Structure 1
């Protein structure tokens, strides 16, 4: 059972009204297995370690890598680098639209394209159909854009429409059609460090027009310049880097440019704890590791990672040492860039709930429990669950929750945030003793000697406090000593708590229907969709009176903003609620930036509801675990629930429930289970 603080962080507001049941999770580490689903829709523990480069042909050469007489795609890398690994822009032939869309829709799309070729600009659209599965939608968007760069994909969930991209038509009037197509493929690929060169153009005035167009339409993504080569002049376009890197020596640059990807399987370890150990063993910084998402501690988890400045050979040599600490590395290979946080589709869960029993004094029979499970799983499979942030987001089990630390940071109270960070748990374990000693003495050096080696974050903070002091400046340096992803975790935890309270208030006061002023995904209008995530830059629409009366939107389309400096708030009672809630914590004038710590919180939009996909479950007698003893089948099959399940002594075996399902990124399996079982876990 959870502590009171956890119950506050996750309000007791449910979506369905089934009875639920009791049970326990995470009795064993193997009862909770989390496998990351990468951006291509594959589970990372089954994905191929290396794909054949898209540019490779049967003779080992690439048509896309050959020089063209008029325009080219180039990469600013060593000549010896593989031309195809992780950097090649896929050719349109890489996607078979007849497979992705079906033959009839593919032919209809080809006909639609022909009608656009010779016509003036038009707003004509073609529907490609409805695609409920997010992975399928992403594949459709990617395939259509690569095959027809002059088309814009428009999402009206779950429907996808296509229309002509006006930016493409404008560019094709300035350069050749082939150049326009290749440029749009270059923009769509977003390959780090790549550049695109248009054909020779000795007309300065014309080059100026092209420069201005590219700056106006794509200035945030690219930078352009004209260069002279062998008596001709051409325009080169390069993707902008994030920030301006400092100058490095050739030797440093070669080392910095090494990236090695791998799949990490860890048991009973926090992601950051695992990273800290690997970093120390490899002689690099924790910040040299990048990952798509944080995974549970008390679980077996599989996730993708990339480490900088470490070769694949060196990582393989350390694999045996890491395995002794509960970390198994697989699929080790060289890549061209780090991972980005959020660069995943979601997670697959394999869960076991043990010791099932009804709520209250209900008859504890197998038949009764089977009926309760069937109803509960069916409701959540059909309707979803309230998309709360789970207790892990707030530092479950800590005396001081992470959201309180985040609030202090947002108020720029560095000393207060440090002291909250070092609030000890009850008990006399070494970590709590070290924290207690620091709060009582302000002696960071002595506290560091007491702090267990496994507590990487605490030790990083104490080292900085020992060096810079425990005043405001020293505490600021202590926070800066943590990786950015760790620093930003705490303000995010605060914003997550506010979001949890907001969704509970929204459902309690406005009910389960869509109301005027609610925020939803934009139903109409073009929306360019990035490969990584359809909703990475959502177009937000405010529900009107008429739309509320006509029931245009469903509750599953409603969003609530995560507080930040770029979001808009609902234009109904919820907008005022957010302002009052932030003011109550002294954040009515908060800019959601902590410049001293290089933190910026733009905010985001999170759906009220989440729905598990590919959900399967099975009931078994606990005594028969590992083979036989099946009581029920998956949720999509009707089952006869008639069996008594008694032992020779006349007592019933306890039942265990196994569940398998997928969730989108940032959705919590514990919250899904909470909705199914109707209890805090």
Structure 2
């Protein structure tokens, strides 16, 4: 794991194996920001999630077998109004068909009573009827193929001086006639055909086009819209491109899997408003009306990476992976419990997917409404319950008393602490390409190299690695997309961008930009973490546990990495002589553009080490990827808290109370708490003097 890295304690340690099974390594976050009543730790699920609740079918985020209204808007929170189903009158010529039947036996399409009253009251009945007739004639022109005539026709509503009346007219006309647009010039309102509507009708049905433009005009915050299921990938791509080209600043799209009436999977496109599109249009009713919908929950996962688990959840809910927030990445080879928050998903909707995600090794519990998202590092710490099996002496240890060795090791680390290295899961332990290698390529702005490293497969032949191998051999982004499972969210996002922009420097940069910021910067942070590990080893091997001139120290305890330079002090010669500081106050910089380095040999080491990776002039800003790495400081040593342990006979399953401990047939049960960003595997490494 950490070859030739230093230890801070001097005991001999012992051997053993960890993570024989996920249940041997259980991680629970401590004191999430919005804990459920009655506890500081994320709750461990005790029973399967509740059965799905019966809900209306208008929301595209509900499980769909037969949708009541194609493309109907979903209002998110229950408090938001749902649109009414189309009336029989609305299903007539002007809303349901562009055919010439519109001007047949019934040339005057009927309005729904509510809209008719609004338009009659705003325009007067005679003008309202003339507008109706204009709409019908425009549709007839479009239906007959006379596009130029339909595009040039206009109908004047005359001057409308009152601004509120104009706004009401704009909305009422677009809701009743989605194929029309209204224009105001010098207070005069005119109506003409909507060319964007006509273009969309070349891709989807008139009914879907109607519903889409109604959704667009309503602008309900947190609402979403879904098109009819579509198995044609090229056709879905054309719809994505249309919406991104016409409304990309306002809307975002995503394909998601749903089931039809025969329980067969199919793909549909979901549309929602971009977050920033609401910032300029805040109602005057106060903060409560604009409050984002957040749902908090505890995620239990087993043998899954955090980002992989989020990919499964996002796919199941039909939302983006970036809609999830969490406080830290948890081990894969473990059972972990961690708080999460998802936005734009109701608690009821989250409960409905419980049975499906259990098949993927996940469970969700403690579901409740929340007021905001979570931030990385926003946790008190983690509690660990670990079993170490196959206990043995080290080969160089001639002691006959293994139990005494174990007790000595635990007591030493409990008293002195451990070197605060970043653990192996930070770098992708055992993988052919580790995350810090990708981070280094990104820092050097080698976009193509970074992407090829990202798609480097492992040695097995599962569908994911087969797809990656195919991509590296062919650079066929489109073909690789079809081969990848839906839950591989990052890979699919990047491949879609590559399919559009090409596998070149610019295309690969676009690919990296297509994934959420937290995922992009994860790789760069991995590289910075690797440099810190090497710096810590160099510092301890050079100066040991003595605080020396030029070291960086803090005068007060900090529970996590921090970035405020004025808290960091450079030790002077007189302070070294007076032994003013302890080794537990020494910090080392995690590299970035806003940190200072030690003024002793360690500082020189940093500069030489970065030069080795061609980063001697690195500004730690990757502008093409919108990455900004200010850096921070990390304590070189950390303490373990609330440590308890006992030995158990692995065969009999009983505690070992006497001094008799049979090698290889005993296991160590150990529990402790660690501060945020501390790694249990690193603490165990110090206790056991083993590399994992």
The alignment's TM-score, normalised by the length of structure 1, stands at 0.64
- Partner residue, 1:377: 410
CA-to-aligned-CA distance 1:148-180 (integer Å, 9 cap, x gap): xxxxxxxxxxxxxxxxxxxxxxxxxxxxxxxxx
The one of 652, 670, 673 aligned to 2:681? 670
CA distance in 2, matches of 1:451, 1:23: 38
* Whole-Å separation in 2 of the counterparts to 1:514 and 1:520: 9
CA gap of 1:481–1:248, structure 2 versus 1, over 3 A, is farther
The residue that corresponds to 2:350 in the other structure is: 315
Residue-by-residue CA offset, 1:309-343 (whole Å, 9 max, x unaligned): 01112112222222232211111111111111111
The answer for the alignment partner of 1:29 in structure 2 is 22
Spell out the pairing of 1:363-402 with structure 2 (5 A cutoff): 368-402=401-435
Deviation digits for residues 282-330 of structure 1, max 9, x if unmatched? 1211101001111111111010111010111211222222223221111
Output the aligned Cα RMSD: 2.8
- CA 1:453 to 1:332, structure 2 compared with 1: closer, same or farther past 3 Å? same
Assess, with a 3 A threshold, how the Cα gap between structure 1 residues 426 and 631 changes in structure 2: closer, same or farther.
same
CA contact (8 A) 1:405 1:491 kept: yes
Match of residue 444, structure 1, among 448, 455, 477: 477
Query: 2:470, 2:548 → 1: CA distance?
Result: 53
1:591 matched residue in structure 2: 619
Cα deviation, residue 46, structure 1: 6.7
Confirm or deny that 1:572 pairs with 2:583: no
1:494 and 1:267 mapped to 2: Cα distance? 27
Structure 2 CA distance for partners of 1:304 and 1:29, relative to 1, 3 Å? same
C-alpha spacing 1:614/1:244, structure 2 compared with 1 (3 Å): farther
Per-residue deviation, 1:451: 2.7
Cα distance, 1:458 vs structure 2 = 2.1
Cα distance in 1 for residues equivalent to 2:454 and 2:291: 33
1:282 equivalent to 2:320? Answer no
Partner deviation per Cα, 1:8-58 (whole Å, 9 max, x = no partner): 5xx4311112111111111111000000012569211179xxxxxxxxxxx
Question: Judging changes above 3 Å, is the alpha-carbon distance between structure 1 residues 493 and 505 closer, same or farther for their aligned structure 2 residues?
Answer: same
Shift of 1:352: 0.4
> 1:595: Cα distance to partner?
1.5
Separation (CA, whole Å) in 2 of partners of 1:568 and 1:653: 48
- State the match for 1:45 in structure 2: 43
Cross-structure match for 1:472: 505
Which residue of 2 is the match for residue 463 of structure 1?
Answer: 496
Task: Specify the alignment match of 1:190 in structure 2.
Answer: none
Residues 354-365 of structure 1 mapped to structure 2, 5 A cutoff? 354-360=389-395, 362=397
Task: Supply the distance in 1 between the matched residues of 2:276 and 2:594 (Cα, whole angstroms).
Answer: 20
Tell me if structure 2 keeps the 8 A contact 1:621–1:653.
no
Aligned equivalents of 1:460, 1:369: Cα separation in 2 = 52
1:521 Cα deviation after fit: 0.8
Structure 1 partner of 2:379:
344
Residues 345 and 533, structure 1, Cα contact 8 Å, conserved in 2: no
Counterpart-to-counterpart distance in 1, 2:330 and 2:633: 22
Distance 1:666 1:533, change over 3 A: closer
Residue pair 1:621, 1:630 contacting (<8 A) in 2 also: yes
Pair member with larger Rg: 2
**1:132 aligned residue:** none
Q: Does the CA contact (< 8 Å) of 1:444 and 1:462 recur in 2?
A: yes
Partner secondary structure for residue 624 of structure 1: coil
Query: In terms of mean alpha carbon deviation, does 354-363 or 413-422 score higher?
Result: 354-363
Question: Post-superposition shift, 1:592?
Answer: 0.6
Matched with 2:5 is 12
2:573 matched to 1:545?
Answer: yes
For the residues of structure 2 that align with 1:335 and 1:29, how far apart are their CA atoms?
30
TM-score, normalising length: structure 2:
0.63
Structure 1: runs of 5 or more not aligned? 1-5, 48-77, 82-241, 633-640, 646-651
Aligned twin of 1:555: 583
Deviation at 1:243, TM superposition (A): 9.0
Structure 1 residue 612, shift from structure 2 partner: 0.8
Secondary structure, counterpart of 2:298 in structure 1: strand
When the two structures are aligned, how many residues end up with a matched partner?
458
Residue deviations 1:216-272 (CA, integer Å, cap 9, x gap): xxxxxxxxxxxxxxxxxxxxxxxxxx9996435879x97871011111111111111
